[in-house]
């Protein structure tokens, strides 16, 4: 029997028509779920095969003796394929449920759980990315809440600290205006001191805002830590003398860092000035620097008597000023707005460093650790 191209294309036409009829007939099923989609795919393939057989029988490509066997084999293949498709559909449904659950948890602000039935690699990758993104967002939200809480607390503290000198300025100005002051010069000095305190508070607020904006580590250069220590000790010797405190600087080994010299000097000066203000008369404050475990380390030790253990983790928080034992003597240096140590931490962290504090036998020791310049090169 001679088979022509026309006979072959007629069999293909039967196959295509059967596939199209089943494909469109199963459109509602296909739209319901992954399982319906796979079932429609399997049945469409089976219909295409059956259509090809019918076309082959009609055009005599397949003998009448063999068509029943071929139909039986096609039906069996369709059943096997349908069973496999059902298993795949269940797996896809499970993956879809796992992914949907992760998305719901993500939408509700929770980190998707890592516990669940096994899923395909692609879905597991998407779920892991959702989990990591949710964790990052959760951390960011917690940080924002903490910052907002700190801002509200700072506003409350600063408002109180602003009212006190402003009220004093107003009272002194009214007394001067009414002419009831015996020593106007003393009042003028007190007014200048109050204005200086207000000005320092405003500058601290600006510095803290600038540090939080990421401007503390700009304009970097190589800085010898010994120079930082010497500049800090020289600048604060008058304050130490006024408080009857002995201030010393020690450099165990030369080491350099890369950073903004002005900002790093501010950070170390804040720590040292804070130590001087809280050390009793005839006490000692020591600034020591050196290379420790491959990092530049500067410590400031004082004789303040120590910090309550419950407050050790809060001394660098914005607005924290501690208990009475850690309050400076008002006659020499009135308490600030609690921004100095927060500014120090911001500067150090902006330079990829750390700052911490521990109690010692007579007081406490603040420690700054920064990457050494040689380790960065």
Cβ burial of 33 (10 Å; 0-12, 13-18, 19+) is middle
- Scored b (16 or more CB within 10 A) or e, 171-205 reads ebeeeeeeeeeeeeeebeeebeebeebbeebeebe
pLDDT of residue 71 exceeding 70, the answer is: no
Q: Which of 128-137, 161-170, 187-196, 288-297 is predicted with the least confidence, judged by mean pLDDT?
A: 161-170
Kindly indicate the confidence band of residue 333, based on its pLDDT and cuts at 50, 70 and 90: very low
Cβ contact 287:229 at 8 Å = yes
Distance from C-alpha of 285 to C-alpha of 301, rounded to nearest angstrom = 6
pLDDT of residue 374 exceeding 80, the answer is: no
Quick: pLDDT tens for 190-217.
888 888 878 877 777 777 777 766 666 6
Cα→Cα distances 58→7, 51, 227, Å: 9, 10, 100
Distance from C-alpha of 272 to C-alpha of 340, rounded to nearest angstrom = 11
Residue 329: predicted pLDDT: 47
Residue 104: predicted pLDDT: 82
Cβ burial of 141 (10 Å; 0-12, 13-18, 19+) is exposed
DSSP state of 312: T
Q: Find the mean pLDDT for residues 37-43.
A: 71
Could you tell me which residue, 66 or 14, shows the higher pLDDT?
14
Q: What is the 3 state secondary structure string of 334-347?
A: CCCCCCHHHHHHHH
Cβ contact 216:204 at 8 Å = no
Give the global pTM.
0.55
Kindly indicate the confidence band of residue 368, based on its pLDDT and cuts at 50, 70 and 90: very high
Q: Find the mean pLDDT for residues 157-174.
A: 78
> Mean pLDDT in the chain?
78
pLDDT of residue 140 exceeding 60, the answer is: yes
Q: Write out the DSSP string of 156-174.
A: HHHHHHHHHHHHHHHHHHH
Q: Which of 46-55, 122-131, 237-246 is predicted with the least confidence, judged by mean pLDDT?
A: 46-55
DSSP state of 116: S
Give residues with Cβ within 8 angstroms of 344, minimum separation 6. 266, 267, 268, 270, 271, 316, 355, 368
pLDDT of residue 61 exceeding 60, the answer is: no
Could you tell me which residue, 143 or 327, shows the higher pLDDT?
143
Cβ contact 36:96 at 8 Å = no
Cβ burial of 27 (10 Å; 0-12, 13-18, 19+) is exposed
Going across the sheet that includes 284-292, the strands are: 246-251, 284-292, 295-301, 364-371, 354-359
Q: What is the CATH number of domain 218-377?
A: 3.30.565.10
Q: Find the mean pLDDT for residues 305-322.
A: 78
- Scored b (16 or more CB within 10 A) or e, 276-307 reads bbbbeeebbbbbbbbbbeebbbbbbbbbbebb
Kindly indicate the confidence band of residue 269, based on its pLDDT and cuts at 50, 70 and 90: very high
pLDDT of residue 295 exceeding 80, the answer is: yes
Distance from C-alpha of 225 to C-alpha of 354, rounded to nearest angstrom = 16
pLDDT of residue 253 exceeding 50, the answer is: yes
Q: Which of 226-230, 313-317, 343-347 is predicted with the least confidence, judged by mean pLDDT?
A: 313-317
Q: Find the mean pLDDT for residues 322-332.
A: 46
């Amino acid at each position: 029997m001679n088979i022509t191209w026309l006979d072959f294309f007629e069999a293909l036409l039967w196959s295509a028509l059967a596939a199209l009829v089943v494909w469109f007939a199963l459109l509602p099923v296909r739209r319901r779920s992954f399982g319906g989609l796979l079932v429609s795919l399997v049945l469409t393939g089976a219909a295409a095969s059956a259509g090809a057989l019918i076309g082959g029988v009609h055009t005599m490509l397949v003998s009448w003796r063999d068509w029943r066997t071929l139909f039986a084999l096609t039906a069996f293949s369709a059943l096997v394929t349908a069973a496999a498709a059902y298993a795949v559909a269940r797996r896809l449904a499970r993956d879809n449920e796992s992914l949907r659950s992760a998305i719901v948890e993500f939408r509700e602000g929770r980190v998707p759980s890592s516990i669940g039935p096994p899923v395909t690699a692609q879905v597991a990758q998407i779920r892991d990315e959702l989990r990591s993104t949710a964790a990052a967002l959760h951390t960011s939200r917690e940080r924002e809440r903490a910052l907002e809480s700190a801002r509200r607390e700072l506003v409350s503290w600063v408002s109180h600290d602003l009212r006190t000198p402003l009220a004093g300025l107003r009272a002194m100005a009214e007394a001067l205006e009414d002419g009831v002051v015996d020593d106007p010069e003393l009042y003028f000095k007190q007014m200048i001191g109050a204005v200086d305190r207000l000005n320092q508070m405003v500058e601290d607020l600006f510095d803290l805002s600038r540090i939080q904006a990421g401007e503390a580590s700009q304009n970097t250069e190589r800085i010898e830590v010994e120079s930082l220590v010497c500049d800090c000790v020289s600048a604060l010797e008058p304050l130490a003398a006024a408080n009857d405190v002995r201030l010393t600087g020690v450099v165990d080994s030369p080491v350099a860092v890369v950073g903004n010299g002005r900002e790093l000097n501010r950070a170390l000066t804040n720590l040292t000035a804070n130590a001087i203000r809280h050390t009793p008369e005839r006490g000692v404050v020591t600034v020591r620097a050196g290379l420790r475990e491959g990092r530049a380390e500067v410590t400031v030790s004082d004789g303040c008597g120590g910090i309550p253990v419950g407050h050790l983790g809060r001394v660098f928080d914005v607005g924290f000023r501690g208990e009475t034992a850690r309050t400076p003597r008002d006659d020499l240096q009135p308490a600030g707005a609690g921004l100095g140590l927060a500014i120090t931490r911001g500067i150090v962290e902006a330079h990829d460093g750390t700052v911490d504090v521990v109690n010692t036998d007579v007081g406490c020791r603040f420690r700054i650790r920064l990457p050494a310049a040689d380790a960065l090169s």
